[in-house]
Copies of this chain bind each other. A is one copy, B any other.
Amino acid sequence: ADSDWKEKAWERLRSQIRPRGSLGYLEEIAARLAAIQGTLIPDVSRKIIFTMAGDHGVAEEGVSAYPQEVTAQMVYSFTRGWASINVLASHAGADVRVVDCGVAADLPQDWPVIHGKIGHGTANMAQGPAMTREAAAAGILLGAGLVERAFEEEGYRLFGTGDMGIANTTASTAIVAAFSGKPVAELTGRGTGIDDQGWARKVEVIERALAVNRPDPEDPLDVLSKVGGYEIAALAGAVLGAAKVRAPVVCDGFIATAGALVACRWAPAARDYVFLSHRSREVGHGAMIDLLGIRPILDLDMRLGEGTGSALAMNIVDAAARVLKDIKTFEEAGVTDTGH
């Protein structure tokens, strides 16, 4: 991102017909968009959300309230337009593409999804690495390639990320535990809704996965391959792809932020392109947000995934672009400015 354009954007924002700073965080978003796209008239009109789907071998440890078959069922519901992401993306004026990064079931080829399956679900990380380094790299390339092509060939200018995968809060918690070094119990939430016993089991499983695999926090690909997931690799890749084509990417909640964290550990410059859509109710999200140092746009106690937070926040990002472009300056409008 280009700091000259950021300064130019702040200059314009400060001279608009309103008290300085009065649009709060919208102004910061607007200035970041200007820096990302190198312009005072950022274009975020064409929007797309990639919902990355994958299964997790660790589901066999009983860490989720739902059985693994729900991943494929939900992917089907996405293709039919029935689900939360369909409704909220449509509301946001965003297209949705669902990507099979590693669903356990074989999805019919005629389903309108991107068939990028890297494996039939990861291995159980409580017993060994979830996947190989090669598979993790393939997941990153999958996500990055999708964003790059959507930008270059189809003209999309604002990207969103989302996830679907039973047990993927378990993997994401392990990722943030590995990077932050914080106790697993402090980072573990209820996912889609487990009880106290299920929560205790989830903590124990994550601790076991970390003990068995010893992921190296200095090596993001090591963390990703040992305790991540295929869809989390693709979510990281989407962020890297967005950074490569210099496009803003709005990340959804806990899982998508885990992907963003991997991406930004790998390539710190990618952080300039990342927006966090919302503060998830999932407890470990706070530690991810702190590590990234990016303020989430919304705080609505959501904990759904699929890209629903990205869809909602895209409207605010779009509003910020319009603020920068369309609100007139005191000079343009001939209104008294006392310099505040």
Interface, chain A (partner B; CB < 8 A): 16-26, 65-67, 69-70, 73-74, 77, 80, 82-84, 86-88, 90-91, 192-194, 281, 297-304, 306, 308, 312, 315-316, 318-319, 322-323, 326-328, 332-336, 338, 340
Contacts and interface: CB of A to CB of B under 8 A. Distances in A.
B304 A82 contact: no
A24 to B, nearest CB: 3
A327 B83 contact: yes
A225 B74 CA distance: 57
B315 A25 contact: no
A76 to B, nearest CB: 8
B24 A84 contact: no
A336 B303 contact: no
B312 A24 contact: no
A73 B332 CA distance: 13
- State the copy count for this chain: 2
B20 A193 contact: yes
B87 A323 contact: yes
Interface of A is mostly: loop
Given A20-B193, A327-B83, A70 B304 contact: no
A171 to B, nearest CB: 17
Contacts of A338: 65-67
B318 A91 contact: yes
B281 A24 contact: yes
A18 B305 CA distance: 9
Nearest to A315: B315
A23 B302 contact: yes
Given A17-B82, A65-B340, A327-B82, A77 B22 contact: no
B335 A300 contact: no
A88 B328 contact: no
Nearest to A194: B340
